[in-house]
């Protein structure tokens, strides 16, 4: 797709999420460079409702460094995307201005629907054999979760976002390390409450994207079905973060919030009634495909 329609010009996106900031540079669909750094904006927003000055400065430093790295890879076309921290912080517009200045590039706060649509496009771009099938793409982030159902040919048909993510659920109901089974049951009840009225069309296939999904893959493999998720949540309820990191080589910033993410995936998978396959691609690839389309049309 990239070679035929978009040429071989390096393109880059910086994705500012609840847990991490990530850089992806592609050329003709080939990854030139990828990098990430933990920032934890979502935890600050959940606690305070806004992003304090020192966190704005830290975010700006990371984004400026990533933008310079992208330009060193000849990526003159660069965009900064801000997900749930920008939507949920009272000073989200200030974050937008700071990061646009730091990157010296366009920046935007994605709506929940836009975030889901880009994840849908990105997930399908890296997955074969689904051209005629109704597919659900599930993205559980730190501050929110998006579910999009549609087809490769016709695009999204059904989009929903829920205002709960792995980091927010952990902060509210899973403070222990390990969280324990009682807290897990309370968190499950909270997610069920949030998902009241959540009735997606039943897909023929389902994909999970994002950092939480990729981390869960290290524990259970590429399939997140009902049994796999239930067994994993039981394990996560009992193991401290340090042991999870050591046993499964997990990223430290993911270990404490993984239980919350697994619980959200479990509840969504139950409503989809289809096992989730962890996709290789997602939001950033979808954003770069969109950037390439805009560049080609200019």
The CATH classification of domain 127-278, taken from the options 3.90.1710.10, 3.30.420.150, 3.40.50.1000, 3.40.50.300? 3.30.420.150
pTM: 0.93
Strands lying side by side in the sheet with 77-82: 30-38, 20-27, 11-16, 77-82, 107-109
* Average pLDDT score over the chain: 94
CATH of segment(s) 2-110? 3.30.420.40
Predicted pLDDT at 7: 56
pLDDT reading at 238 higher than 80: yes
pLDDT reading at 278 higher than 70: yes
CA 168/CA 124 separation, integer angstroms: 28
Residues 12-57: pLDDT tens digits?
Answer: 999 999 999 999 999 988 999 999 999 999 999 999 999 999 999 9
Q: Do domains 2-110 and 127-278 have the same CATH topology?
A: yes
Sign of CA dihedral 235, 222, 120, 40: positive
CA 24/CA 8 separation, integer angstroms: 15
CA 79/CA 71 separation, integer angstroms: 12
Q: How confident is the model at residue 5 (pLDDT cuts 50, 70, 90)?
A: very low
Domain chopping of the chain, boundaries:
2-110, 127-278
Evaluate whether 59 touches 16 at the Cβ level (below 8 Å): yes
Beta-bridged to residue 107, according to DSSP, are 80
Q: Which of 63-67, 125-129, 238-242, 247-251 has the lowest mean pLDDT?
A: 125-129
Predicted pLDDT at 85: 96
Residues 6+ away with beta carbon under 8 Å from 28 = 2, 3, 6, 7, 8
Helix (H) or strand (E) holding 184: helix 181-194
Residues 159-202: pLDDT tens digits?
Answer: 999 989 999 999 999 999 999 999 999 999 999 999 999 999 99
CA 176/CA 164 separation, integer angstroms: 19
CA 201/CA 128 separation, integer angstroms: 22
Q: How confident is the model at residue 128 (pLDDT cuts 50, 70, 90)?
A: confident
């Amino acid at each position: 797709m990239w070679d035929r329609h978009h040429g071989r010009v390096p393109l880059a996106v910086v994705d500012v999420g609840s847990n991490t900031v990530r850089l992806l540079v592609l050329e003709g669909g080939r990854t030139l460079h990828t990098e990430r750094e933990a920032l934890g904006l979502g935890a600050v927003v959940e606690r305070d409702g806004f992003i304090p000055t020192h966190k704005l400065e830290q975010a700006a430093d990371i984004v400026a460094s990533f933008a310079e790295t992208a330009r060193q890879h000849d990526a003159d076309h660069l965009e900064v995307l801000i997900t749930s921290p920008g939507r949920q912080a009272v000073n989200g517009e200030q974050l937008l201005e700071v990061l646009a200045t730091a990157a010296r590039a366009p920046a935007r706060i994605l709506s929940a629907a836009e975030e889901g649509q880009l994840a849908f496009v990105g997930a399908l771009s890296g997955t074969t054999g689904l051209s005629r099938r109704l597919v659900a793409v599930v993205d559980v982030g730190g501050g929110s979760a998006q579910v999009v159902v549609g087809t490769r040919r016709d695009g999204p048909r059904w989009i929903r976002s829920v205002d709960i993510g792995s980091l927010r659920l952990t902060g509210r109901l899973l403070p222990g390390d390990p969280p324990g089974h009682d807290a897990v049951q309370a968190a499950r009840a909270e997610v069920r409450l949030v998902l009241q009225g959540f009735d997606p069309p039943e897909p023929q296939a389902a994909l999970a994207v994002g950092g939480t999904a990729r981390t869960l893959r290290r524990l259970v493999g590429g399939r997140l079905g009902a049994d796999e998720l239930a067994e994993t949540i039981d394990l996560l309820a009992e193991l401290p973060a340090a042991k999870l990191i050591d046993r499964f080589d997990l990223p430290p910033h993911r270990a404490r919030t993984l239980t919350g993410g697994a619980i959200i995936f479990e509840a969504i998978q139950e409503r989809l009634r289809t096992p989730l396959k962890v996709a290789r691609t997602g939001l950033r690839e979808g954003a770069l495909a969109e950037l390439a389309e805009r560049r080609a049309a200019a």
